[in-house]
Amino acid sequence: MNTPDISPATPFSPKGQTENTSGKTPSEPSVVISGTGQYLPSKVLTNSDLTKIVDTNEEWILTRTGISERRIAGPTETSGTMAAEAARMAIANSSLQVEDIDLVIVATITPDQPFPSTACHVQTALGMRPIAAFDVEAACSGFLYILDIATAMLRNGPYRHALIIGTEKLSAITDWQDRSTCILFGDGAGAAVLSRSSLHKKKTGILDTTLGADGANGHILQMPGGGCRVPATPDSVSSRQHFLKMNGREVFKLAVKVMEQASLDILARNHLQAEQIHSIIPHQANIRIIEMLASRLKIPMERFFINLDQYGNTSAASIPIALHEARENGFCPSGTNSILVGFGAGLTWGATLLRWP
């Protein structure tokens, strides 16, 4: 086992911005994104299609959310199968082999089943060695949570390469009778390979992450049924307890607030100004949330990577899918800084600062 050689991560505080002391120990290895991948189901559900399912119209959906269409998984596509496809692409793009991966972490709110974990399904699907594999549930912030966990494990432990995946089949928990939520969500998976590297220049790769949660506001975005509190019964099914429920207006307000705070926090504790951030890759929930965030941070919208028009909100998959497409589209040139920022049920939130090698 390697001896941990960095200061412990500093917790997110809504008020105080503790300084990021990581990156200051001479022997600290960089953790870099060595590959990314995605998987989107081929079936497209347009706003026009939705007008045949619920009482809505194309213009309302587009102007209130920015979403034009989303992908819907087929009957044999699951969070696990989509995660495995995204993972294959990420490993291929990293020029590594499946055998090189030392750790698998999946973020999802729509696991293939309560147990075994979706990470174990991915491990089997890819024919991986008997390496550690586990799931984390932090809703739409899940990818930022697993990115921070994997980064710490790579820095401190014997691991060299970690596969982290955000994957969701939200169509399975969407109430297709509820027009206020069913227009928002889509299915898909995004993956990244993180690698410990002493080859890269100091202060590149994953530089810092801030995470937070406010469980007292959990009720504004939740699925009531399916856990031990409301187990599946004929009553729980007929009263639609196994679908996602949301107070959209409340989520909207808190989303802007916590994403702004997390972004400001990560800038302050790394002594950076907003102008020094070349690109922001936000959770793809609603274009109006992102526009409000941009305006509060005084960062032009052109620096925000947006693909929610095509995929809607894919929860834990949203940031890694956007990350993959941003890299592919030249949105993240070498030597520039990016911030990944998101929020989700819990409530949870997070922001990650990276510098591209």
Six token digits for residue 77? 């596509």
CA 326 to chain centre: 14
Could you confirm whether 120 is annotated as catalytic?
Answer: no
Give dist(CA 296, CA 141) in Å, integer. 20
Piece of the chain touching ligand UT7 by CB under 6 A; list 53-61, 91-99, 274-282, 324-332: 53-61
Instruction: Report the site for ligand UT7 in 325-354 (rule: CB under 6 A).
Output: 344
283 is known as an active-site residue = yes
- Bridge partner list, 355: 205, 337
DSSP state of 313: B
Quote the CA–CA distance of 252 and 139 in Å, as a whole number: 15
- Strands 44-46 and 69-71, by their bridges, are antiparallel
Catalytic position from the list 283, 286, 307, 324: 283
The site map against ligand UT7 for 138-167 (x = CB under 6 A) is --x---------------------------
Q: Does 183 bind ligand UT7 (CB under 6 A)?
A: yes
Active site residue 337: no
Q: What is the pattern of x (binds ligand UT7, CB under 6 A) and - over residues 298-327? A: ---------------x--------------
Q: How far apart are CA 259 and CA 296, in angstroms?
A: 10
Q: Smaller CB distance to ligand UT7: residue 193 or 246?
A: 246
SS3 198: coil
Using rule CB under 6 A, residue 176 touches ligand UT7 = no
Question: Is the Cβ–Cβ distance between 213 and 346 less than 8 Å?
Answer: yes
Question: Using the rule CB under 6 A, which residue among 175, 226, 252, 257 binds ligand UT7?
Answer: 252
Provide the minimum distance between the beta carbon of 252 and ligand UT7 in the complex, in angstroms, as a whole number. Answer: 4
| Residue of this chain nearest to ligand UT7 (CB atom) | 248
Work out whether the CA dihedral 70, 72, 78, 81 comes out positive or negative: negative
Strands 245-246 and 221-222: antiparallel
User: What length is written for the chain?
Assistant: 357
- Of the pair 152, 345, the CB lying nearest ligand UT7 is at 345
Q: What is the closest distance, in whole angstroms, from the C-beta atom of residue 37 to ligand UT7 in the complex?
A: 22
Give the helix/strand (H/E) hosting 155: helix 142-156
Active-site residues: which are they? 140, 283, 313
What are the residues binding ligand UT7 (CB under 6 A)?
56, 60-61, 64-65, 140, 179-180, 183, 246, 248-249, 251-252, 255, 285-286, 313, 344
